[in-house]
Each structure stands twice: as structure tokens, then as C-alpha cells.
Amino acid sequence: MALEDAKTRVDDAFTRSDLRGLSFENTFGGATSFLRRRYTKDLAGVDIAVTGVPFDQAVTNRPGTRLGPRAIREASALQAVDPPYGWPFNVLEDCAIADYGDLAFDYANVPEFPGRLTDHIRGILQAGAAPLTLGGDHYISFPILRAMAEKHGPLSLIHFDAHSDTWPDDDMARVDHGTMFYKAVKSGLVDPARSVQIGIRTTNADTLGVHIIDAPEVHLIGPEEVVARVHQIVGDHPAYLSFDIDALDPAYAPGTGTPVWGGLTSAQAAAMLRGLAGVNLKGGDVVEVSPPFDTTGATAIAGAHVAVEICCLLGWALRA
């Protein structure tokens, strides 16, 4: 069946009629939607809406993450033919997943951008879908969390990163990918007592009450213990998962703006993400994939795998 489909199917992103099922289109051809899901602006009946935010004007170091959503979509074609590994269900069969396309915005009108993104996510939530966002730089999490908190109240943040992104910044209109979680806590969008940051390996003395499991501790105690702690911290509180690709060591994800050595391995990340099954997850993002700094495509591949795991976590929560 797979071979026959590969002979006859192409551009599933536009030609497939359903929102469920695997895609046996040749991985090297055709339109590259996320996991070959159907591109659509109609979210009726959609469980998970994947959307891209090609924005990188908040970076402090190397730009290029505006190209991340496109690269992640292309890399995801490698996975569309198989059920996601390590899960007792197949999210591609059991959940209606759509590629909602990218956010449209005026790249030269940065002050307008946050509101446009919040409205974009509001629309997804109002349609009854859970948003999975492909970045873009990490600032995008702040406007997303505004919409998420409107619907679900203050959220537990599960944050994988080399940086805490809670450096002080009381100018809520300022656009910076290193201060947005400071703003999210101060704005009441995130409950720090129920939130956790994993993989941190840069100095920031004030954690704002957010639990920290830094990279050296992850290496010491292992993914299983990390997962147990996260479940204890978060409980059944509505949660949002944000994965900065620089949580991974540069050996696994060189294509990012602010790489820091000593990070997580891809195997550790996979084990921890799968171990989060059962968390009351309402949405998530994967950010900071910068293709210009990666000649192999490894970073986009890692980003696509993270996005698929978040899909599975969202699907698992929907099954509860």
C-alpha cells in the first residue's frame, strides 16, 4: 500500500481530503506541510492546529529563525510515513491535525506584531483546537501565552532551554527573546510555583520562583527522575510547553542563535518529552531553529521531532 501510494500521491498538503492518517508521499517531493497534514484555514473539527511564526526580530545574537518554520516543515516529511515511535497510540490516526499555515504580519511594524500573534492564537483556541507553534525566535511565547491564559487562566510553564529568559524587563511593549518569561510571570500568565525550566546552563540569579532543573542536574539524575519532578510540580494544572532548540547541546542542534555547550542530548530530550504523557497540556511551541547556521539540517530535524512529541502529548491530553 505504501509503495502504491508513493507512486500516485503527491502534494498531500493540498490534495488530501482528510485530517487523519499517515502519508506515503515521497519524502523528497511535494509540498512540505507539517507531517504532510492538510493546509487549511478552516479549523472545524480540528484537534491540533500547527502554525508557523517566522519572526526573528527579537534576537540578541545570530538571526535566521524566521526560516525555522519552513525548515521544520520540510524536516517533518521524514516522519509522516510512520506512527510516532514510543507511543501506545498513533496521534496521526487518532487526532485531526491541520497545518494552519503561518501568521501574516508586517515585518517592518514590530510594535504591531505581538497583538497580531495573540489574535492569531485566539482564533485557534476559539475554534476549539490546541495550538502547536513553530518558531521563530523565543519572544513569540509571550504573545501566545496571553491568548492561552485568557482561555485557561494562569498556566504551568514547562520550559526546555539553555537560558531562563527571565531577565528583568518591566517594559511590556519591548520585544526581546530573553525577557518574555519575566513578563509572563509578572503579567500573571504563568504560575511560577507550578512551572519548571529544564536544561538551564546560563546564570540568572532571580528565578522568580520557577523551579529549575539545570543541565548538570539532568545529566546527574537522568530523564526518569526529571519527569517525576515535573509531574509533581505541575500536577493536573493546565500547562504550556515551550522548547527552545538550544536546550540541546550544540553537538545535536548547531543551528541556533545562542548555542551553549553542556546541553541535553537528543536521547534525553526524547525520554523526557515522552515521560510527560499525562500532563494537562493545552499548547506548545518549538523555537529558535536557525537554518543558516546548520549545514546538515540536524537542527531542523531535531525541531521536527520535538514538534511531533508535543503533538503526541497534546493528543494524549485530548484522550484523557
Give binding residues as ranges.
Answer: 138, 161, 163, 165, 244, 246
What does the DSSP 8-state code read for residue 258? S
- Record the cell numbers describing residue 286, joined without a space: 518549538
Are 149 and 188 within 8 A, CB to CB? yes
- Record the cell numbers describing residue 268, joined without a space: 534525553
- Beta pairing class for 130-135 and 48-53: parallel
**What is the distance between the alpha carbons of residues 314 and 127, in angstroms, rounded to a whole number?**
16
Q: Could you tell me which of 308, 281, 269 has the C-alpha nearest to residue 84?
A: 308
Are 167 and 173 within 8 A, CB to CB? no
**291 — alpha (psi -120 to 50), left (phi > 0) or beta?**
alpha
Q: Which whole-number Å values give the CA distances from 126 to 16, 44, 94, 167, 318, in the listed order?
A: 25, 10, 22, 32, 16
Are 307 and 34 within 8 A, CB to CB? yes
Q: What are the phi and psi torsion angles at 184 (to 5°)?
A: -65, -40
- Record the cell numbers describing residue 198, joined without a space: 529544564
- Record the cell numbers describing residue 209, joined without a space: 520562583
Mark the binding-site residues for Mn(2+), compressed into ranges: 138, 161, 163, 165, 244, 246
Q: What are the phi and psi torsion angles at 125 (to 5°)?
A: -65, -40
